[in-house]
Structures are given as C-alpha cells and as structure tokens.
Amino acid sequence: MERVDVAIVGGGPAGSSAAGAAARRGADAVVFEKGVPRADREGLGPDSTDAAGMLDYWIDLMDYRPEEIPDDVILSRLDGAEFVGPTERVTLSDTGIEASYDGFGFAFHRARFDDWLRAEAEAAGATYRVGTAVRDVETDLSGGHSHRLTLADGDEIEAEYLVLADGPQRTVTMGVLDQFVPDGRSMRDHLASTTANHIAYQEHRRFPADVFDPELIKFWWGLIPGHTAYPWVFPNDDRVVRVGLTMPIGVDLDRVRNRDAYDLLSDEDEQVPPGRVYLRRLLEREYGDRYDVPEDFPLVEDRGKQGGTEAYPISSTRPIESPTAAGVAVAGGAMGTTSAFHEGGDHVAVRTGKLAGELAAEGRLSRYNDAWRDAIGEEIRRNVAMADLVRGYEPADWDRTFRTADRLLDRGGTGLVEALTTGVDAVKLVGAYKRRKFALRNGGYVQFREDEYAV
C-alpha cells in the first residue's frame, strides 16, 4: 500500500493551499480531487463556482502579497460596492479595514485562481490525483494515528495526517468526523453533507457599454424573500458580468410576511421562482425601460461552468473545530467558513488550508484550531454577527438600514459617536451589531469544539 505524509481531500483553494504549505516544509503531500469539467477550464478540476470577488484585506488574510496574484487571474479592479434596497442605496468605497492592497478589491476568474494555487503547490513538490473520488476513509488510532483512504477505483493510500477540504457539501468530511462524534450522534446534526441550506445561481452576460461599470460590485437586498437572500452583479472583463443570486432553500411563499413588498415576486408565483426567473426580473427592473434584456444582455456561453451559467449549493453554517488528536484538520468550506451572507470564502479557505498543511508537515497539528482562530476568527465573528443581525429583515428594514448607513458615511464613520449625531436608527443599528458581536467573543461563533470529539 502506498504511504504518504499528508493526504488532502479536495483540490480547491483550501486543499491546494494545504498541499503547497505541506510540500514546502518537506512533507510528501498528495491531493485527491474528483474533478469536474468546466467550459472555461482545460481538463478537470475542482468545482470552481462562486461570485469570485476579493476585498482588499482578504489578500492579507490569505497571507499573500498583492503582487503575488497573477495578472491573468484578476478580471476587474474595484473601487467600491453598492448596496441597493427597494428604494434606498448606499455605496462603500472603503472596507474600513487596514490592508496592503491599494484599492477596494478585485473581481477574479475563479478557475484560473484555483489553477494558480495548484501550480504553486505542484511547484513546491505536491502531487495531484484528479478524476477519482475518495470513497471511504478509515482512521486507526492505535499507536498514534493513520488514515486509510479508499478511492473509487479501488486503490488504497495510507497517510499519517489527513486534511479534509472537500467544500461545503462535505461528502467525505462527514463520514470521517462521524468516527469521532460520541453518544451515537452524527456530525450531520451540525453540518449537512448532502443537504444545502442555500443555493446560488449565476449567469455570465455581456452588458451594454453605457451600463457596464467595471469598478463597482452591486448587491440588492430586500427584493426576494429569505434570510441572506440577495442578487448581485460582479463585473469581469470585456463587458462580461456575473449576474447571480443566493437564496435559502425551502422558503414557503405562503408564510412570507408582506409578500407584496418584494419587487422580484409576482402575484402569479405559487412557489419561489427559479434563479433564472429572478435574474430576468432583476434585469428588467433595472434596465427594462431602456433595453430589450434578452437581446441586449446576451449570455456568454463560453464562460462559467456550462453555457454561461452555473448553480452551486452552499451549506452556510458556523465553523467547527477539528479533531487534531486524530491527525485530522478540516479546512475551508468543509469546516463551515463559507458564508451565504457575504457570498464568499476563498480567502478563509486559503488561509485555513495553509495553516493545516504547514502544521501537519511539522507534526504540530494540535496547534491548528488555535491558529485558524487567531488568523480568521475576527472575520468569522463579523460575518456571523451581521447574519444574525439581519435575520427576519423585510424590505422596509433594508431600506432603513441603507438610509442609516448612508447618513453614517456622510458623518465620516460608523462608530457610536457618529451614530449618536445621526439619529435613533443609527444608534439601534450600531448598538445591535456591537452587542451581537460581543456575544460571540472568545470563539462563540464555533458550533462544535475540539473537546466534544471522542478522541
């Protein structure tokens, strides 16, 4: 049986980052990636589907320098983000967080991003096996820890350390972690492996020149029902735009309050419309008075996963810690760092992957949970606090929030002093966020801690 130092399940940002970090420290690191085809990639690779935007400080969170990002990965450099409600809107030109990148951020080509990370890992000495899925993992804790991976083609590989980076669907992660969950419980009680709680859908469309803004990303809130349900626009190159949305699964329109207030719902809708219908209505709402949307906003069929479109599930949860005593680290979306609220997780996937690979190679994996909390804990805390804050928001709440935020920005900040001079709504908004964030201190955003495993 073949033996390796570090086996990594999944070749996305977390997996490739883990492989590169482990190989650079002398470990024999192997990535197992089942591989999927894409219209915009030659050969098989990870299921590279997301809105693909990077904020300035996220580059620092990834532990990269801005100049290390290849030029062909970046599609459009951004100056800001616009948040649009039913009648109000606010534009941010600064993330408010210190960063080494000179600019608001950039939109990028996700498949090229993944391929770059893979090339970096292979240059460091890591190897990839693409096209065969991991079917099963058995862990032996007698006399230390070892992991036997069985592949779909029947091959078996033994590894001292295991990094689980199979994304938010966690098809392998769940079975591995269930070995260490006590009292007949299952990790599926915390992280579903086959059931997503959100779905994302996006289309690559070429916009008319006079409405294509290459320097601004846009998000619409309060137009469709559901917690963390929103459409977006991400500018790419050559007037191509990713028009997409995230929405929770299982929304019952009969239980939606103030249904008539949601602009992208129709009186004829008996159930939640599919993503393509929502997006057509969004484009008609924004541009239908000037353009024939099907004619003037054509699909770009050689982009995306297939035919200019792509859909992907998101299991957006709070993160879990890893059973490091068993020689296992869970990284990226598999550990629950993907957030449907801000539509993204590449930056935290890269950083957690790097930490997992580095510490496994050095035989110090017991440090992993502390290390990732130190590196990305504040980012996770912000995301969870914001998602909790807006739970139950309706269209009027989003308008009030954007109106308040716009006033705060006019005053030069979003602190308590600015809130007090802006009005009661601002005090409530800032106060509610700070209270929620305070409640999540000391890792309160973690939903399953290391000491809960039976290892």
DSSP at 57:
H
Quick check: is 172 in a domain? Answer: yes
Residues 307 and 237 both lie in one domain: yes
**Whole-structure pTM value:** 0.93
Q: Please tell me whether residues 263 and 305 are part of one structural domain.
A: yes
Residues 393, 323 share a domain? no
Residues 145 and 127 in one domain: yes
49: left (phi over 0), alpha (psi -120 to 50) or beta: beta
Residue 249 and residue 149 share a domain:
no
Judgement on whether residues 353 and 225 belong to the same structural domain of the protein = no
| Domain limits for position 220 | 198-313
Both tokens of 307, joined, read 């035919």
Does 42 share its domain with 143? Answer: yes
3-state helix, strand, coil in the chain (%, to 5): 35, 25, 40
212, part of any domain: yes
| 377, 393: one domain | no
User: Considering its fold, how many domains does the chain have in total?
Assistant: 3
Whether residues 12 and 118 share a domain: the answer is yes
Shared-domain flag, residues 264 and 347: no
Residue 86 lies inside a defined structural domain of this protein: no
Which is nearest to 57 in space by CA: 95, 92, 99, 93?
99
Tell me, yes or no, whether 176 lies in a domain.
yes
pLDDT of residue 143: 86
- Give the max Cα distance, the chain: 71
Domain membership of residue 85 (yes or no) is: no
pLDDT beyond 90 at 25: yes
> SS3 for 56?
helix
Which comes out higher in pLDDT, residue 388 or 321? 321
Q: In this structure, is residue 425 part of a structural domain?
A: yes
Query: For 268, what's the count of Cα atoms within 13 Å in the CB-facing half-sphere?
Result: 1
The per-residue pLDDT for range 305-362, each reduced to its tens digit, is 889 999 877 766 689 999 999 999 999 989 988 765 655 689 999 999 999 999 999 9
Residue 22 lies in a domain: yes
Residue 104 has which token pair?
């608001």
Encoded tokens for 62: 């990834």
Tell which of 384, 401, 424 closes a domain.
384
Domain match, 121 and 259 both: no
Residue 151 lies in a domain: yes
DSSP type of residue 108: E
106 pLDDT higher than 80: yes
* Final residue of a structural domain among 256, 284, 313: 313
Clarify whether residues 228 and 167 are in a common domain. Answer: no
Residue 54 maps to which CATH number?
3.50.50.60
- What pLDDT is stored for residue 75 in this prediction? 96
CATH of the domain at 209: 3.30.9
Least confident of 44-53, 74-83, 95-104: 44-53
